[in-house]
């Protein structure tokens, strides 16, 4: 097993959220053993049904277990949100600690507020990141297939394709249909493909609504579903205007490059260096990689982008408490020059001595005016204090 960077508490109950297949269950089972924990898998239909019918069964069960069992693990807690009331009571009245994993926060938002308010810490598990994989990491593979843990045990491309296609079908079946999140599946299925094609672009809700054949409010709710089920994330515009006519709509990114390619049906299309598609995939990967890594190491960092009405853009802005802003341009080029940093350099004066980075595949580090041009691997190590 490849060690994960996430470090969870050993002293307090906690939630561990993450999309399906990110390794939550494996992580928990490798930390907690059967002697000191009770594991309950709510993905099993009979187990889910039992607790859904009689949530109080959990309390009765815990009253009967040996005192050596200190941890209660409820895997995929969103399946039976009514259990949260029981868990809340037991956190207050017993010496047991709870680990609550979930791939969706949608149902929990309607019942977990009391639990989330300090009684249980909150963590998120992501696909594998560079700092976890290091020497076994292959960029082009990550751009094409993504970094969900299961992929690293599959050797053949056809098996990787089959896994990712099954993943997207499982998402529709278990997260959308089974949870009765929407009434009509076909428009949402069409929306998923269009959203994947629009990955990394500023969201135009009206145009997407026309393409899907629904109203704008429905499209907004669809994006909310993707966020709540952890299949993607919003990158908001920078919170204050530093140029006139700054764009105000957010961007949307899927949580994994391979899942994105599965949804827009391009898994069998070769990822060729130097193409527009390769550049988009590289930008997607870098933004997701920085946000994932920060959620483990620097959870107070905040992320945004800037695009002006004239088209000038900064791909990623990082608000780092106690440190200067980091403003980042992302290029898939292997030979960065002054043309690549012109826009980024022009924004430097709008911030107070920012860390200005042009992240690329260029192996030669360069300083061009106010911009440090750096290879993507070194940029990750530098940003997160690993150099």
Predicted model pTM: 0.92
**Mean pLDDT of all residues in 76-85:** 88
- Sign of the torsion angle spanned by Cα atoms 363, 365, 371, 375: positive
C-alpha–C-alpha distance, residues 124 and 121, integer Å: 10
Q: Confidence band (pLDDT; 50, 70, 90) for 113?
A: very low
Distances (CA, A) of 135 to 2, 374, 377: 12, 19, 11
User: What separation, in Å, do the N-terminal and C-terminal C-alpha atoms of the chain show?
Assistant: 25
The reported pLDDT for the residue numbered 178 is 63
Length, in residues, of the chain = 387
Query: How many whole angstroms from its chain centre is CA 133?
Result: 17
- Mean pLDDT over the full length of the chain: 90
Name the percent of the chain lying above pLDDT 70. 93
From the list 179, 224, 147, the residue with the least C-alpha distance to 43 is 179
Percentages of the chain per state (helix, strand, coil), in multiples of 5: 45, 20, 40
Task: Give the separation between CA 383 and CA 290, rounded to whole angstroms.
Answer: 9
* CA angle, 374 then 375 then 378, to 5°: 90
- Residue 26 to residue 37: CA distance in whole angstroms: 14
- The answer on pLDDT for 162 being more than 90 is yes
């Amino acid at each position: 097993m490849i060690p994960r960077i996430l470090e969870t508490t050993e002293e307090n109950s906690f939630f561990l959220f993450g999309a399906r297949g990110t390794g939550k269950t494996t992580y928990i089972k490798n930390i907690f053993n059967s002697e000191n924990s009770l594991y309950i898998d709510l993905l099993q239909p009979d187990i889910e049904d039992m607790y859904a019918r009689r949530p109080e069964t959990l309390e009765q069960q815990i009253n009967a277990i040996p005192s050596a069992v200190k941890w209660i693990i409820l895997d995929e807690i969103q399946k039976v949100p009514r259990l949260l009331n029981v868990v809340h009571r037991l956190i207050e009245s017993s010496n047991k600690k709870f680990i609550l994993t979930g791939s969706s926060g949608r149902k929990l938002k309607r019942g977990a507020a009391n639990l989330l308010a300090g009684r249980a810490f909150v963590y998120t598990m992501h696909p594998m990141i560079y700092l976890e994989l290091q020497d076994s990491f292959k960029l082009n593979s990550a751009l094409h297939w993504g970094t969900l843990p299961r992929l690293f045990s599959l050797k053949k491309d056809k098996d990787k394709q089959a896994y990712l296609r099954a993943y997207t079908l499982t998402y529709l079946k278990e997260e959308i249909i089974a949870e009765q999140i929407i009434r009509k599946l076909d428009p949402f299925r069409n929306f998923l493909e269009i959203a994947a094609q629009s990955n990394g672009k500023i969201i135009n809700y009206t145009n997407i609504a026309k393409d899907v054949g629904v109203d704008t409010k429905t499209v907004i709710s669809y994006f909310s579903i993707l966020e709540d089920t952890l299949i993607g994330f919003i990158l908001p515009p920078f919170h204050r205007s530093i140029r006139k006519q700054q764009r105000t709509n957010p961007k949307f990114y899927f949580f994994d490059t391979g899942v994105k390619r599965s949804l827009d049906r391009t898994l069998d299309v070769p990822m060729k260096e130097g193409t527009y598609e390769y550049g988009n995939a590289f930008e997607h990967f870098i933004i997701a990689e920085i946000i994932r890594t920060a959620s483990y190491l620097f959870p107070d960092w905040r992320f945004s982008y800037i695009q002006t009405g004239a088209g000038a853009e900064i791909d990623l802005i990082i608000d780092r408490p106690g440190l200067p802003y980091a403003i980042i341009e992302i290029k898939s080029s292997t030979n960065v020059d002054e043309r690549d940093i012109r826009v980024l350099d022009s924004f430097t004066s709008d911030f107070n001595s920012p860390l200005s980075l042009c992240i690329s595949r260029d192996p030669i580090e360069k300083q061009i005016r106010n911009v440090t041009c750096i290879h993507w691997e070194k940029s990750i190590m530098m940003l997160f204090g690993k150099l």
